[in-house]
Amino acid sequence: MDRVYNFAAGPATMPEEALRTAASEMLCWRDSGMSVMEMTHRGKAYQEIFNDAEARVRDLMKVPENYKVLFLQGGATLQFAAVPMNLMTVSGRADYLDSGNFAHGALVEAKKYGEVRTVASSREDNYAHIPEWNDADLDDGADYCYITTNNTIFGTRYSRLPKGKAPLVADMSSNILSEVYDVNDFGLIFAGAQKNIGPAGVTLVIVREDLLGRAMPITPKAINYLQQADAGSMLNTPPTYAIYMAGLCLKWLQEQGGVSAIEKINIEKAKMLYDFLDESRLFHGTADKGSRSRMNVTFRTGNEDTDADFVKAATKAGLVSLKGHRLVGGMRASIYNAMPVEGVKKLVEFMKEYEAHV
């Protein structure tokens, strides 16, 4: 069976090169005589793999010295609690921008731990756009201001960042490493790996050092940033194989020329799809033009039966997982870093052909 073009939102397509390397090293990693999966995390061989992955993150994102890079478990969802437990302890207040389902989930979770203020929300418009806010309205005394840089389900993306005095915390799960960000603009960045970093099972956290050491006493130690930083993310057993796989994917990204190079390709891929959607008679984009995501392109025909038929026909043609999230309906093409330009070309060609025949 040939590999298909996989447009799933996450877990998502990964670079074939990384998968091939993993396959070739499956039984025996270098001269270790064993699979990475079988290695103790306390040994020299595994520490080398771990350090390599961290170094690649630091290189790709130009992470400054005064930031810690952590590899944790529990997904982005556990960070919805970890962020307030670690940070919402000085004023006990935080600002949240409600731009999608994950953003909303994060603010609901944070309410368990302190005073959450919703600065702006696009919930009433089913999150078809990034909510509008005024930087002057941000709470400068809040412990942090929280955003979701790319809204995976609705297909929207912030094109500018809130600028206030409180540290900015960003859930970058679905667009980390896809475009250039200046880490200095953030107090904390986190991302589940399964969209743009590697396989599911590991969550990347990048946190500025001055924000460490103020966690609530009830914070579980496995999500206490200071304790995990002091332990090199190995307070307990880390997700060893997921980190190894992430390292292979990060290496691939470096070989593509890094984040600025892949950003150009990502812009080109997204443009191909949106240009077609804008001229199509049958398919229409669901997100507002000014808020469009480069990673998750949401669209529909306006007829649910036609949507379902299209998804079925596309699957037959080797273009899979195009069904949209139930909160939006229609279709969603997730076109992360590892989706080749060729895959997007094939999709657009297929949509053109489909349109010509219905």
Q: Does 179 bind ligand PLP (CB under 6 A)?
A: no
Q: Does 324 bind ligand PLP (CB under 6 A)?
A: no
Query: CB of residue 352 vs ligand PLP: minimum separation in angstroms?
Result: 29
DSSP 135-186: GGGS-TTSSEEEEESEETTTTEE-SS----SSPEEEE-TTTTTTS---GGG-
Query: CB of residue 297 vs ligand PLP: minimum separation in angstroms?
Result: 14
φ/ψ of residue 197, rounded to 5? -115, -50
Q: Does 291 bind ligand PLP (CB under 6 A)?
A: no
**Residue of 6, 7, 10, 250 that binds ligand PLP (CB under 6 A):** 10
If one counts every other C-beta atom within 10 angstroms of the C-beta of residue 37, the result is 10
φ/ψ of residue 9, rounded to 5? -80, -20
Task: Draw the binding track, 124-153, toward ligand PLP (x: CB under 6 A; -: no contact).
Answer: ------------------------x---x-
d(CA 245, CA 18): 7
With contacts defined by CB under 6 A, how many residues of the chain interact with ligand PLP? Answer: 12
Query: CB of residue 170 vs ligand PLP: minimum separation in angstroms?
Result: 10
Q: Does 7 bind ligand PLP (CB under 6 A)?
A: no
Of 56-115, binders to ligand PLP (CB under 6 A) are 75-77, 102
Q: Does 350 bind ligand PLP (CB under 6 A)?
A: no
> Which amino acid would we find at residue 266?
N
Closest CA to 228 of 257, 188, 266, 263: 188
Query: CB of residue 333 vs ligand PLP: minimum separation in angstroms?
Result: 15
- Coil, helix or strand at residue 119: strand
Using CA of residue 255, residue 253, residue 206, residue 200, what is the dihedral sign? negative
d(CA 216, CA 106): 18
Residue written as token pair 């409180």: 166
Q: Does 286 bind ligand PLP (CB under 6 A)?
A: no
Task: Draw the binding track, 234-263, toward ligand PLP (x: CB under 6 A; -: no contact).
Answer: ------------------------------
Site residues (vs ligand PLP, CB under 6 A): 10, 75-77, 102, 148, 152, 171, 173-174, 192, 195
